[in-house]
Amino acid sequence: MAQIDTLLTEARQGATMTVPASWGQGRTVFGGLSAAIMNQAMTSELPDDRKMRVQNAQFIGPLYADEPFKVNVIHMRDGKNVTQIQAQLIQRDQVAVQSMAAFGVDRESNISVPAPCIEVDSPPKKGNWIPQIPKVVPKFFRYIDIRIDDGGYPFTGRKTASYRGWMRFKDAPQQITDAHLITLIDAWPPTVAQQLKRPAPVSTLSWNVEFIHPHPLITGESWLAYHCETRQASNGYAHTFAKIYSESGQMIAVSRQVVTVFDK
């Protein structure tokens, strides 16, 4: 069993969890995994097969690795069509990360606007991410394969502020759930980090991810295409927008992030 599967299995209301340092990102647990843990905990509370439509995550403070934290899930409303749930990861008696998500049933409607499809190149055979360099490359990249087709590595002084490429797990999970997709989508570095000429703290403040339904089945071996651009950046903050596609070019999700940059 892939390690991420083991961690997600533990994610339940009231659970006390500890994430190993191998999933670290600087001084904290990788934010994509934190959001995935909350997603899994919220999903386990659903009364039926309601699909996740949107999840917002607020990264309030550090969630430290190798240190226990508690998972807290609150039902905000259980309606006929939509369930809205809040999740918190609490450590040292403080909320470190918080999410709100909406899960909705499929309903009959006269409105139907298909998601755009794109032409994509053949999925890569392997990634091209830089190897593990202590204190430079986040540790969690040992679990995720990244292939950059357009854009640069962080802290290389590039003029570009966008990414195009591919992602998947190095150790294929038994199945790909929404929580797995959330983990992958957040694995990419902030688009503006490549413009910096030397390492500096760059972190996500707020993240909004929406899943498109229906979408094709994603397997543990599948690559996902990632296209992300910077909408605006100034005064220490950046706004990014990403689209995620299947190997066949069908849209899977859209992602929006507000990123903080501490380069001065």
246-255 mean pLDDT: 97
Amino acid, res. 257: Q
Of 80-94, 104-118, 123-137, minimum mean pLDDT range: 123-137
Distance CA 145, CA 83 (A): 33
Domain ranges of the chain: 3-106+118-261
Amino acid 48: pLDDT: 82
Segment 74-103 shows an average pLDDT of 97
Percent of the chain residues topping a pLDDT of 70: 99
- Residues of 217-227 as b/e, b for ≥16 C-beta within 10 angstroms? ebeeebbbbbb
The pLDDT of residue 22: 95
Res 242 pLDDT > 70: yes
What is the per-residue pLDDT across 114-163, written as a single tens digit (0 to 9) for each?
998 998 888 998 888 877 777 678 899 999 999 999 999 999 999 999 99
pLDDT surpasses 70 at 71: yes
Query: Can you give the three-state secondary structure of 85-111, one letter per residue?
Result: EEEEEEECCEEEEEEEEEEECCCCCCC
pTM to 2 decimals?
Answer: 0.95
- The CATH number that domain 3-106+118-261 falls under is 2.40.160.210
pLDDT on residue 79: 94
Query: Residue 49's pLDDT is what?
Result: 85
Q: What is the pLDDT of residue 1?
A: 63
Tell me how far apart the alpha carbons of residues 170 and 191 are, in angstroms, rounded to a whole number.
23
pLDDT, tens digit, 9 for 90 and up, residues 155-214: 999 999 999 999 999 999 999 999 999 999 999 999 999 999 999 999 999 999 999 999
